[in-house]
Structure formats: structure tokens, C-alpha cells
């Protein structure tokens, strides 16, 4: 591209920016450049900008060009790298910047997740390059080598690159305890045959590689100094309803296949909405509150197809296939044995009488007893004990309201632990027969839309007088729901009053949708769980262990003491019973400010100490399995994982 052509392109950005940014900027003053850079470096890399979870559509250039750098997530990384002078301005850098039309879709998505405004970064990226070129800056042409030329011969000229503007978005995430690696190449194959050919080519040249999903791994699994194989182009979905299964390609995200299954009256077991199914299953296995019924690990699929490290093909039903159903619970690193190129998942029936409720508890012991009792008796489809951090963060559209909500639920309402329970009418009848007061679907909608008024509701102080000595017995009063509605005057307008003014009308319409207060829909699609690191990133400690109240209390006490010793925020995440109530999945979280070098040092030390504590309990009990040691063994049988 000549300099004249480049300057013509840059001039077009000014016109484009003036026309598309006016709605975004009309109610806000300019953001200081340092704040924009901080925002660019704060992307959580959850890839929520790659899925249409709000019905706004997805970044057009990302859908067309597929590389991470063409999505808002990648442009955030690109801008930060340019400002820090970590990479030069390249031809791809120009193409990526030009491809953004400043439509603002990413603001809706990212504000929902993390309360950030990526369009500000996108505009700053255009301004940065415009000013760079006006000062006489040059555009670097990336030289092609023999290996890249051969890869292009396999996947097509556009779908393999060594341009730094692409590579930088595959270089890092917010994980504090791994070494980031800048890949030499990024390649996007579109079939298992192309994957096989690329793998054989890389092997022949001695180039290391990793296969990548959407890059949200918390274990540092998606980095390579050689090549990264991004499988996002492979988005095939094939339903076989007669055999109750659906076959998905490695580029299919959980939200997408769940949406398609729901249209047909089914549910699939998925985890985080932007997680790619094949990668999720291969790394740690699918975990959710539905694991109570649908299981973990190999329970969740019928078959899977792979490309081995030598480029050959196999599937798990082959008689001579490698035994991926085995499990080795050692502390050694487990490299991926093969690359998953498709998985056939189970379709689960959905009845028309399913309902969700929240069962509050004053203490973890009581919540554990209830969850275990339900799981042992096979009562309910989905069971999850949630702490105050998760409940408040999921419910509140802003960080400030989440802090208020956490105080309300934990202190004023005395509900530090809430069990999310989903089941059919028979399961719900059993819960009520057990004598537990519940927050039903209607009251949940009232509390959700009335969250901002809940803090000032004077009748909260009278709840004790409405109880008959039993915690939360006021929830059984026939008129309590009406009293709450009258006192809170709930509405989407009230809930969204603290949202940025230019986004408020959109979010008011969003929260008026029935699914946004539907416990079943929210737990099935899990879009709110993407908020759980909204304030700060976290290190999640995830374990399988017996539902032993004393053991859990001991470990939690130890984890809290370590966090306190390093002055870190720590929170109970969730517990879901599995394996007919004998065991559970437990997450406990340490939060940290990734912009603070001192805090990064402290979280690394705390993570090391917490890992040693969990290792100690694992050796002492013989019954604890840490998910960090299950990495790349997600296909294993749960019996091999939990019993052997």
C-alpha cells in the first residue's frame, strides 16, 4: 500500500468516525488517554464480544475476518501494544483499524459484562494511527517465510499470518502465574484435513504449536512461541434428534449451540457462554450447576473426533483409539494428546413445568445439608450453592450496585448463601415439603427489578417481626410478594438508572425481556456469570471433593487465612453436588488488581501457598481432585477421575 493510499484510508476514518460515534459520545466528555489505555489493558478475554448474547449482533469485521484482532477484544490488545511501542505499525494493523466502523455494538456487550466502553478504545486506535502517520510514521511490511507460504498453501492466503498485529492478540491474558508467549504464526484451518496438514507441516519443521478455543483458559494453555491454531472458522452444528445428539465443530460456542437446542425443545450441558464446546470438554470438562443431573467429564458427550499429534485421525469409538477416558491425578503437566475437531453431545429433554427458586441460608453448613439431601434423593435438575459475591455480581448491572446488593443479601437479609434450585413441579413440591422457605420466580423478578430500592426499603428492618422464629419464614406469607412489589416499585427503568445515560434506553429494554429475570433461562445460558470478574480478575481454585461439612470448612478457613495474609480479596464462589450427592464441585476465588505490580506479586505468592494447601489436603484425604491437575483430561470417565 502506498503512502498516498494509506492517507486516503486514514481520511475516511475521520468521516466514518464523525458519523458513527455521535450517538455514543453525545452524553459523555472525552476520556483521558491514560484511562483509555487502562481500559484497553483491562479486557477480561472472555470473548463475549464474539457471541450475540444480547441480540445486538456481533462485530461485522470479526464475523468476516475471524482473527481475534478483528474483534473488539483484539483491538483492545492491539491499541495497548501500540501505545506501549511493543509492536510496530504493520499492514494488518491498518487493515484491522480500518475494518472497525465504530458501530458501538461492543459497548452494549462489554458494558453488560464489565462496565467498559470498548468503542472509546476503537476510536483512540484510529486517532493513534492517524497521528502516527501525520508525524511521518511508516507502515512495516511483514516478510513471509517458507513455513508461512506452505501454511497459506493449505488454508488459503488470508488464513495464515505472521503479522504482529494479529499475533499480539494471541500473546497474553490476565492469568498472573504463567509465562506469556508471542506466537510466530497464527493459522485458522477450516477442516480436519487442513488441521492435519498444518500439524504435519509444523512437525516437519520442528515448530511447536497449540490449538486454541476462545482463549479464556486460566491455566496458560493457549500460548506458544511457535504457532497458534485458531479453530474459530469451524462452526458446524448437526442435530440428530432421533439419537438425541448434536455434533458440533471446534469453533462452536456454548451460547450458540444452546440457542439452537432450545429452538428444538432440548437442552445441552454447557459451561461459560463464549467457551468453545470442544476446547471446554478437552481441557477441564463441562462444569455447571446442571452437573448435579447431567454429570461431568465423559458423561456429557457420545463421541468425539480428533487429529493426533502426528496428524492422523481417530474417534473415541475406534477400537484402537488412544484411551482418553483414563485419568491421571498427578501433579505433572498433562499436555494435550490430540486436537478435538468435533464432539457429539447429548440432547436433554425439557419439560414444560420446570421452575427455578432460590433457597436462602444463614450458614454454609445448612446449605450443604440441603444440597446434599436433594442430590442423594435425585431431587432437582440443577443445584448450586452461591455466595454473596456471585449473587450480587450476577444480579446488578453495575459494580456500585453490586456492592450495595452484596451488603443487602448478606447483612440486611441475612442470606450469605443461596441455593439456586431448578426442577419440575414434583421436585419443587419436594423442596417445599422439606420445609424450606423459597424465593420463587415472581419474587425473584421483583427483587431483581427493585434492586436499587431494596437498600432504602424501611420494611427490611421489620422482616424479623414477620418471622415466627424460623429464618426467612416471612417468605411463606401469602402476601409477602405483594408487599415487596408495593414497597420496591420494581421496574427495568429503576434497575438501569445508574447506567451510562446514552446506553440506558437499550438496557431498560433489555431488562424488560422475560428471560432476564427467568432463573431457568439465566442458568441455562449463563450470560450473567461472565460478570464475576467485573471488578477485578481472579484466580479460581476449583476442586472435586466429598460433601463433608467439616472438611470444606477447614479448607475454606485455610484459604481465607492465606488471602488475608497477603491482603487480597477472597470469596466463596459456588458448590454444586455431583455423583448422586457423594461429592461436589467447589470454586473459591482470590481477586487481584492486575495493574498493580505489588498486588501481582502477592497474588502469585498466595496462589502458590493455596495450591500447596490443597495439595496437602489431597494427599491427606485421598479424596480431593484439583481441576488444575485434570487439565487436558476433560474426556475422562468421572469414575476414573473421582474413584481411582
The DSSP 8-state label assigned to residue 276 in this structure reads B
Q: Provide mean pLDDT across the span 595-624.
A: 96
The mean-pLDDT minimum among 447-451, 460-464, 473-477, 491-495 falls in 460-464
Question: How big is the chain by its Cα radius of gyration, in Å?
Answer: 25
The mean-pLDDT minimum among 53-62, 169-178, 510-519 falls in 169-178
Query: For residues 587 and 304, is the Cβ–Cβ distance under 8 A?
Result: no
* Strand locations in 347-478 (E): 348-349, 355-361, 382-387, 417-423
Query: For residues 131 and 62, is the Cβ–Cβ distance under 8 A?
Result: no
Q: Residue 17 pLDDT > 60, yes or no?
A: no
SS3 state of residue 236: coil
**Percent of the residues in the chain that have a pLDDT greater than 70, as a whole number:** 91
Q: Residue 24 pLDDT > 70, yes or no?
A: no
**Percent of the residues in the chain that have a pLDDT greater than 90, as a whole number:** 79
CA–CA dist 480, 54 (Å, integer): 32
**Domain locations along the chain:** 3-134, 146-230, 352-535
Segment 281-300, tens digit of pLDDT: 888 888 999 999 999 999 99
* pLDDT for res 31: 64
pTM of the model: 0.93
Q: Residue 221 pLDDT > 90, yes or no?
A: no
Cα 356 to chain center, whole Å?
22
Q: Provide mean pLDDT across the span 208-231.
A: 84
Q: Residue 30 pLDDT > 60, yes or no?
A: no
Q: Residue 9 pLDDT > 60, yes or no?
A: no
Q: Provide mean pLDDT across the span 57-63.
A: 96
Query: For residues 508 and 496, is the Cβ–Cβ distance under 8 A?
Result: yes
CA–CA dist 138, 90 (Å, integer): 9
pLDDT category of residue 4 using cuts at 50, 70 and 90: low
Instruction: For domain 146-230, give the CATH number.
Output: 3.30.43.10
Q: Residue 274 pLDDT > 70, yes or no?
A: yes
Q: Provide mean pLDDT across the span 410-417.
A: 92
The rounded mean pLDDT for the chain is 91
CA–CA dist 36, 124 (Å, integer): 8
CA–CA dist 444, 520 (Å, integer): 12
* pLDDT for res 196: 98
* pLDDT for res 634: 85
pLDDT category of residue 21 using cuts at 50, 70 and 90: very low
- Angle, CA 356 vertex, CA 404 and CA 57 arms, to 5°: 75
Q: Residue 1 pLDDT > 60, yes or no?
A: no
* pLDDT for res 483: 86
Instruction: Quickly count: other Cβ atoms within 10 Å of residue 352's Cβ.
Output: 7
pLDDT category of residue 26 using cuts at 50, 70 and 90: very low
Write down how long the chain is: 644
Helix (H), strand (E) at residue 399? helix 399-407
More confident residue, 134 or 631: 134
* pLDDT for res 528: 94
pLDDT category of residue 29 using cuts at 50, 70 and 90: very low
The DSSP 8-state label assigned to residue 140 in this structure reads B
pLDDT category of residue 27 using cuts at 50, 70 and 90: very low
* pLDDT for res 463: 72
Long-range pairs, 215-219, Cβ under 8 A, ≥24 = 215/45, 215/47, 215/68, 215/170, 215/173, 216/45, 216/46, 216/47, 216/173, 216/272, 216/274, 216/275, 217/173, 217/175, 217/283, 218/173, 218/175, 218/539, 218/540, 219/175, 219/178, 219/283, 219/628, 219/631
Segment 523-573, tens digit of pLDDT: 999 999 999 899 999 999 999 999 999 999 999 999 999 999 999 999 999
* pLDDT for res 28: 43
* pLDDT for res 172: 86
* pLDDT for res 407: 93
Residue 490 grid cell: 420494581
pLDDT category of residue 23 using cuts at 50, 70 and 90: very low
Residue 628 grid cell: 488444575
Q: Residue 135 pLDDT > 90, yes or no?
A: yes
Segment 231-271, tens digit of pLDDT: 999 999 999 999 999 999 999 999 999 999 999 999 999 98
Q: Residue 349 pLDDT > 50, yes or no?
A: yes
Amino acid at each position: 500500500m502506498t503512502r498516498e493510499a494509506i492517507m486516503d484510508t486514514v481520511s475516511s476514518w475521520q468521516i466514518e468516525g464523525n458519523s458513527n460515534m455521535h450517538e455514543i459520545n453525545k452524553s459523555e466528555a472525552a476520556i483521558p488517554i491514560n484511562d483509555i489505555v487502562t481500559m484497553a489493558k483491562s479486557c477480561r478475554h472472555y470473548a463475549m464480544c464474539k457471541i450475540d448474547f444480547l441480540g445486538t449482533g456481533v462485530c461485522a469485521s470479526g464475523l468476516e475476518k475471524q482473527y481475534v484482532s478483528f474483534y473488539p477484544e483484539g483491538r483492545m490488545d492491539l491499541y495497548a501494544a501500540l501505545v506501549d511501542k511493543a509492536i510496530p505499525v504493520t499492514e494488518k494493523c491498518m487493515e484491522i483499524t480500518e475494518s472497525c466502523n465504530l458501530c458501538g455494538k461492543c459497548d452494549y456487550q462489554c458494558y453488560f459484562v464489565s462496565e467498559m466502553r470498548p468503542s472509546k478504545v476503537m476510536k483512540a486506535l484510529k486517532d493513534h494511527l492517524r497521528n502516527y502517520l501525520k508525524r511521518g510514521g511508516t507502515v512495516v511490511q511483514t516478510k513471509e517465510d517458507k513455513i508461512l507460504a506452505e501454511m497459506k498453501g493449505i488454508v488459503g492466503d488470508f488464513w495464515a499470518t505472521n503479522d504482529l498485529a494479529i499475533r499480539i492478540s494471541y500473546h497474553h491474558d490476565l492469568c498472573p502465574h504463567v509465562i506469556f508467549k508471542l506466537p510466530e504464526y497464527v493459522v485458522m484451518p477450516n477442516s480436519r484435513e487442513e488441521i492435519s496438514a498444518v500439524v504435519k507441516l509444523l512437525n516437519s519443521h520442528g515448530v511447536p504449536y497449540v490449538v486454541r478455543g476462545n482463549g479464556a483458559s486460566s491455566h496458560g494453555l493457549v500460548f506458544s512461541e511457535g504457532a497458534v491454531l485458531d479453530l474459530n472458522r469451524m462452526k458446524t452444528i448437526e442435530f440428530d434428534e432421533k439419537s438425541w445428539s448434536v455434533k458440533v465443530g471446534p469453533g462452536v460456542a456454548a451460547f450458540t449451540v444452546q440457542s439452537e437446542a432450545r429452538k428444538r425443545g432440548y437442552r445441552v450441558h454447557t459451561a461459560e457462554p463464549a467457551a468453545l464446546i470442544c476446547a471446554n470438554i478437552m481441557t477441564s470438562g463441562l462444569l455447571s450447576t446442571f452437573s448435579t443431573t447431567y454429570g461431568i467429564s465423559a458423561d456429557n458427550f457420545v463421541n468425539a473426533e480428533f487429529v493426533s499429534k502426528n496428524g492422523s485421525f481417530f474417534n473415541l469409538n475406534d477400537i484402537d483409539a488412544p484411551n482418553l477416558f483414563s485419568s491421571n491425578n498427578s501433579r505433572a503437566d498433562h499436555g494435550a494428546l490430540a486436537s478435538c475437531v468435533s464432539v457429539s453431545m447429548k440432547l436433554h429433554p425439557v419439560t414444560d413445568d420446570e421452575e427455578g427458586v432460590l433457597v436462602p441460608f444463614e450458614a454454609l453448613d445448612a446449605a450443604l445439608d440441603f444440597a446434599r439431601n436433594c442430590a442423594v434423593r435425585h431431587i432437582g435438575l440443577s443445584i448450586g450453592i452461591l455466595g454473596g459475591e456471585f449473587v450480587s455480581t450476577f444480579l446488578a448491572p453495575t459494580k456500585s450496585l453490586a456492592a450495595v446488593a452484596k451488603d443487602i443479601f448478606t447483612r440486611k437479609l441475612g442470606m450469605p448463601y443461596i441455593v439456586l434450585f431448578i426442577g419440575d413441579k414434583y421436585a419443587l413440591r419436594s423442596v417445599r415439603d422439606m420445609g424450606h422457605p423459597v424465593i420463587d420466580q415472581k419474587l425473584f423478578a421483583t427483587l431483581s427489578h427493585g434492586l436499587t430500592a431494596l437498600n432504602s426499603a424501611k420494611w427490611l428492618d421489620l422482616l424479623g417481626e414477620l418471622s415466627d422464629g424460623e429464618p426467612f419464614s416471612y417468605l411463606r406469607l401469602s402476601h409477602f410478594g405483594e408487599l415487596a412489589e408495593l414497597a420496591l416499585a420494581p421496574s427495568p427503568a429503576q434497575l438501569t438508572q445508574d447506567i451510562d445515560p446514552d446506553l440506558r434506553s437499550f438496557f431498560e429494554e433489555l431488562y424488560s425481556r422475560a428471560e432476564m429475570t427467568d432463573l431457568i433461562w439465566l442458568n441455562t445460558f449463563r450470560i450473567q456469570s461472565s460478570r464475576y470478574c467485573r471488578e477485578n480478575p481472579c484466580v479460581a481454585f476449583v476442586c472435586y471433593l466429598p460433601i463433608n461439612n467439616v472438611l470444606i470448612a477447614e479448607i475454606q478457613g485455610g484459604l481465607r487465612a492465606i488471602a488475608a495474609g497477603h491482603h487480597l480479596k477472597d470469596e466463596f464462589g459456588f458448590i454444586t453436588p455431583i455423583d448422586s450427592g457423594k461429592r461436589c464441585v467447589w470454586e473459591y476465588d482470590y481477586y487481584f488488581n492486575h495493574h498493580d505490580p505489588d498486588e501481582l506479586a502477592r497474588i502469585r505468592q498466595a496462589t502458590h501457598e493455596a495450591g500447596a494447601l490443597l495439595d496437602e489436603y489431597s494427599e491427606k484425604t485421598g479424596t480431593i481432585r484439583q481441576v488444575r491437575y485434570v487439565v487436558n483430561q476433560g474426556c475422562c470417565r468421572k469414575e476414573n477421575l473421582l474413584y481411582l
